[in-house]
C-alpha cells in the first residue's frame, strides 16, 4: 500500500487550504487504496479572511490548528514529516499556499517557501519521489526543484510569468488536465485556478492523484 504525505495550508480558500481540493485529493487517494497523512506548518496565518464578505478581520489563527478542521484532527506538524516514510507528496492549493506555505502572494518573483515546508518538500525532490501540486501551489516548485522544472497553474498570464521568472518552465493547461514533469516526477494541475465548479476541479485532481500514485515507487 502506497503512503502519501499531504501538506495543508490552513482551512479556507482565501487564507488557507482550498477545502474542496483537499477533500477531493483525500477521496481519490482513499479510493485508490493509498494511505495518507496530513501535515501543516505550526505557524500563524498571514491573516484571516471573512469568507462571507471577503474582508480581512482582526484575528490570529494557527495554520496547523485550522488545517486540522478539514481532516478531523488527524494531522501532524510538518516538522514531523520524514520523506523516507512516504512514497509520494501532494500539496493542494488555496491562497494559503501563497500566503502561509510561501510568501508568493506578497513577494511574487522574490518569494520564498516557509522554512519547514521547504525542507519537507525538498526532501521528496532530492529523493526523486513523486509529488503533485495543484492550483497556486505550483508557484513554489521552482523554489523547491530549481530552474527548469516543468509545471502549470493553468493559463493566468501574470502568475505564469512570475513562476517562469522564478525558474520554472510553465505549460498552459486546461482545468481537466495535468502537466507531468517526468524528470522530476512532478505532476501539476490548475484545479480552482480555473475550475468553475466542483466537478471541473474533480477531473484534474483525479488525474493528478492517479498519476502521482503511478509514479510512486
The 10s digit of each residue's pLDDT in 4-15 is 999 999 999 999
21 pLDDT above the threshold of 90: yes
Percentage of the chain beyond pLDDT 70 is: 100
DSSP letter assigned to residue 39: E
Burial class (CB in 10 A: 0-12, 13-18, 19+), 196: exposed
Q: What is the pLDDT of residues 127-141, one digit of tens each?
A: 999 999 999 999 999
Q: What is the pLDDT of residues 173-189, one digit of tens each?
A: 999 999 999 999 999 99
Cα dist. 105→63, 67, 147, 180 in Å? Answer: 16, 19, 20, 24
Which domains, from first to last, does the chain contain?
Answer: 3-215 (3.40.50.880)
Q: How many CB atoms lie within 10 A of CB 125?
A: 20
Check residue 217 and give its pLDDT: 80
Listed in order, strand segments (DSSP E) in the chain are 3-7, 35-40, 48-49, 56-57, 75-77, 88-91, 130-134, 150-151, 169-170, 179-181, 186-189
Active site residues: 135
Amino acid at each position: 500500500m502506497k503512503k502519501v504525505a499531504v501538506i495543508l495550508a490552513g482551512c479556507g480558500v482565501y487564507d488557507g487550504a482550498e477545502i474542496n481540493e483537499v477533500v477531493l485529493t483525500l477521496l481519490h487517494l482513499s479510493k485508490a487504496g493509498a494511505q495518507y497523512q496530513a501535515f501543516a506548518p505550526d505557524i500563524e496565518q498571514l491573516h484571516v479572511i471573512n469568507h462571507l464578505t471577503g474582508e480581512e478581520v482582526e484575528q490570529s489563527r494557527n495554520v496547523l490548528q485550522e488545517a486540522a478542521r478539514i481532516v478531523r484532527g488527524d494531522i501532524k506538524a510538518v516538522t514531523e514529516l520524514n520523506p523516507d516514510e512516504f512514497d509520494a507528496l501532494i500539496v493542494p492549493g488555496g491562497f494559503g499556499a501563497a500566503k502561509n506555505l510561501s510568501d508568493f502572494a506578497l513577494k511574487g518573483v522574490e518569494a520564498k517557501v516557509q522554512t519547514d515546508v521547504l525542507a519537507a518538500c525538498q526532501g521528496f525532490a532530492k529523493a526523486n519521489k513523486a509529488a503533485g501540486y495543484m492550483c497556486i501551489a505550483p508557484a513554489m516548485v521552482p523554489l523547491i526543484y530549481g530552474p527548469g522544472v516543468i509545471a502549470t497553474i493553468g493559463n493566468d498570464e501574470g502568475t505564469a510569468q512570475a513562476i517562469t521568472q522564478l525558474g520554472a518552465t510553465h505549460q498552459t493547461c486546461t482545468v481537466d488536465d495535468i502537466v507531468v514533469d517526468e524528470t522530476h516526477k512532478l505532476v501539476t494541475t490548475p484545479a480552482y485556478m480555473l475550475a468553475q465548479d466542483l466537478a471541473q476541479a474533480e477531473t484534474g485532481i483525479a488525474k493528478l492523484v492517479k498519476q502521482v500514485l503511478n509514479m510512486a515507487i
